[in-house]
Amino acid sequence: MHFPEVLPLQSGASIRDYHLAYETYGTLNADRSNAVLVCHALNASHHVAGVYAGQDKSEGWWDNMIGPGKPVDTDRFFVIGVNNLGSCFGSTGPMHNHPDTGEVYGADFPVVTVEDWVNAQARLLDRLGITQLAAVLGGSLGGMQALSWTLQYPERMRHAVVVASAPNLTAENIAFNEVARRAIVTDPDFHGGHFYRHGVIPKRGLRIARMIGHITYLSDDVMNEKFGRQLREGIDLKYSTQDIEFQIESYLRYQGDKFSDYFDANTYLLITRALDYFDPARAHAGNLTRALARATAKFLLVSFTTDWRFSPQRSREIVKALLDNRRSVSYAEIDAPHGHDAFLLDDARYMGVMRSYFDSIAKELQA
Amino acid sequence: MTDKAAMQALARLVPPGSRVLDLGCGNGAMLDYLQRERGCSGYGVEIDDANVLACVQRGVDVIQLNLDEGLAMFDDNSFDVVLQIDTLQHLRNAETMLRETARVGRTGVVAFPNFAHWPNRLSILRGRMPVTRRLPYQWYDTPNIRVGTYKDFEVLATKNSLRILDSFGLQDGQEVRWLPNARAGTAVFHFEHA
């Protein structure tokens, strides 16, 4: 959907003539009360569920969670997936043209924040004629957007479902983002972010960024279980320093290669920056309780015990701030082995809690 | 102690409209009852996955926490009533948790199996740990790692400067106020911090 009007951004800059890619699933009911907005994380899009006709492996990134008869049941809910500004899956991003100059944005794409994304999503809902959402749902960075929704548009939503998320990033988390960004920025093919003009892609940087990201999304245990010290071929060491010998090396390189084929380098920088900046307590001298006083939604928070990038402790901070404000909140801490990635995987306890929570939202719709 | 009469007897200690924290809330039946019948609000705390799910299913707000890690998440006096119903006997840090209950709640209600109930005494006299309807486990597989009596709790409450507002036994859903330490399978204490 095209938006000709100016969207003011948190930085003081603005963007106009932009496009938001979105998909919807299910049917909006007569009183327009059953809409659920799904917010995506770093490497995802508006394509949250279902498959594209005739395309293999085109399942949406949260297809196990969202669809007919699934925990977020599209037979009952009208689900909306939106690709965020600055991303590289269809919405306006750094690979598109600046309307003033007609040149590719590249490094000149404005820095966008979680709050900016939420504002853009709200404008999309205006166009779709939805004044109040039944729920906003997101995991990781998507969870930050769901949380931000409760502060920016408390009257426009009834439930927030925040999975494997945090009220801000820790220093260690920002550090991982910075390593990834340095890998991209120091790639000779990056050209200060204007690589499109040179007809190249900083694939080396993107690969390394993805490799380090991938390590942090898994747990030590699951990585050991999956790869251990297995060698790729044979049982003998090659006594090389540059060959791929261990399975884990092969896996990370494969993931890095795959990622560098489709992901945009400037998008990586923008999205990790949005992660770094998100901190609703900042305007309240670090006091999350005061920051969340505006929220009126009912909350479900879910974390995973082996997630060290968005640890349960961070979710508990949000729970505590909501308790201090006497808000309705439930919190499930799922003892799953898969680290941060667990939020995208099937776990009976996780799926059960999500299904039950959305069932109760559906019951409210009928009441 | 899921018995309806017992639940109602305990619910009478919770004033209508109270903000309640139910520690070890199980499947959320008590909070559900308090919300529907007594206009209360609040949260349950549970460690068990199946119980957390049951609470979400019935629309009771639940926080998944290990009570042995304390109640740091909850502010002083942030609840009108804190319930510990059949919870104390499972806690490694039972005394700490009792203090935490008193800190977080303006009042507390604790109910637990009274080990001095006469059938238990009889069993011990016979030289065997009791296995009853109220304490249905063998000594080697019981989740009840703290066994105490009605009288024991009075001593613990005094030690922790708790003011007992009311106390009684519960047996077959009925209040037992005469010799509760011998005549009731469940001990109930309603207290506030001094």
Q: What is the pLDDT of residues B88-120, one digit of tens each?
A: 999 999 999 999 999 999 999 999 999 999 999
Average pLDDT over residues B60-64: 98
A356: how many CB neighbours lie within 10 A of its CB?
Answer: 22
Torsion sign across C-alpha atoms B162, B168, B172, B173: negative
Residues of B in contact with A334 (CB under 8 A): 49
Residue B186 contacts by C-beta under 8 Å, 6 or more apart in sequence? B1, B6, B111, B112, B113, B114, B134, B169, B170, B171
Rounded to whole angstroms, the Cα distance separating B40 from B104 reads: 17
Tokens of B59: 């629309």
| Helices and strands in chain A: count of H runs, count of E runs | 10, 13
* Residue found under tokens 């009183």: A31
Using the predicted structure, report yes or no on whether residue B2 has a pLDDT greater than 70. Answer: no
Average pLDDT over residues B157-164: 96
Candidates B18, B49, B58: best to mutate against A (most CBs of A within 10 A) is: B49
Rounded to whole angstroms, the Cα distance separating A249 from A283 reads: 43
Helix (H, G, I), strand (E, B) or coil at A227: coil
φ and ψ of B103, to 5 deg: -70, -45
The pLDDT confidence band at residue A366, using thresholds 50, 70 and 90, is confident
CB within 8 Å: B59 and A323 = no
Using the predicted structure, report yes or no on whether residue A213 has a pLDDT greater than 70. Answer: yes
Residues of A in contact with B70 (CB under 8 A): none
The letter for the amino acid at A187 is D
A interface residues, B as partner, C-beta within 8 Å = 300, 316, 319-320, 323-324, 326, 328-335, 349, 352-353, 356-357, 359-360, 363
pLDDT (tens digit per residue) in B128-153:
999 999 999 999 999 999 999 999 99
What residue of B is the nearest CA neighbor of A336?
B49
Radius of gyration of chain B measured on its C-alpha atoms: 16
Residues of B in contact with A323 (CB under 8 A): 43, 63, 73-75, 78
The pLDDT confidence band at residue A122, using thresholds 50, 70 and 90, is very high
B73 min Cα distance to partner chain A (Å): 5
Q: Which of A324, A326, A357 sits opposite B56 (nearest CB)?
A: A357
CB within 8 Å: B62 and A333 = no
Residues of A in contact with B63 (CB under 8 A): 319, 323, 329-331
Rounded to whole angstroms, the Cα distance separating A19 from A112 reads: 15
Rounded to whole angstroms, the Cα distance separating A68 from A50 reads: 9
Active site residues of A: 140, 307, 340
What residue of A is the nearest CA neighbor of B73?
A320
B62 min Cα distance to partner chain A (Å): 5
Check if the beta carbon of residue A11 is closer than 8 Å to that of residue A111.
yes
CB within 8 Å: A326 and B61 = no
Give the pLDDT confidence score for residue A367 in this predicted structure. Answer: 79
Strands A18-19 and A2-3: antiparallel
Residues of B in contact with A357 (CB under 8 A): 56
Rounded to whole angstroms, the Cα distance separating A47 from B70 reads: 42
CB within 8 Å: A359 and B19 = no
The reported pTM is 0.95
Maximum separation of any 2 CA atoms in chain A, in Å? 69
Check if the beta carbon of residue B193 is closer than 8 Å to that of residue B163.
yes
B19: how many CB neighbours lie within 10 A of its CB?
Answer: 16
Helices A114-128 and A265-277, axial angle in degrees (round to 10): 100
Nearest one of A37, A122, A125 to A81, comparing CA atoms = A37
Rounded to whole angstroms, the Cα distance separating A105 from A193 reads: 9
Size of interface A-B (CB pairs under 8 A): 52
Residues of B in contact with A349 (CB under 8 A): 49, 53
Rounded to whole angstroms, the Cα distance separating B49 from B45 reads: 11
CB within 8 Å: B73 and A316 = yes
Nearest one of A304, A360, A138 to B56, comparing CA atoms = A360
CB within 8 Å: B52 and A353 = yes
What residue of B is the nearest CA neighbor of A302?
B64
φ and ψ of A28, to 5 deg: -70, 130
Average pLDDT over residues A190-204: 97
Average pLDDT over residues A51-55: 91
Helices A203-217 and A171-185, axial angle in degrees (round to 10): 160
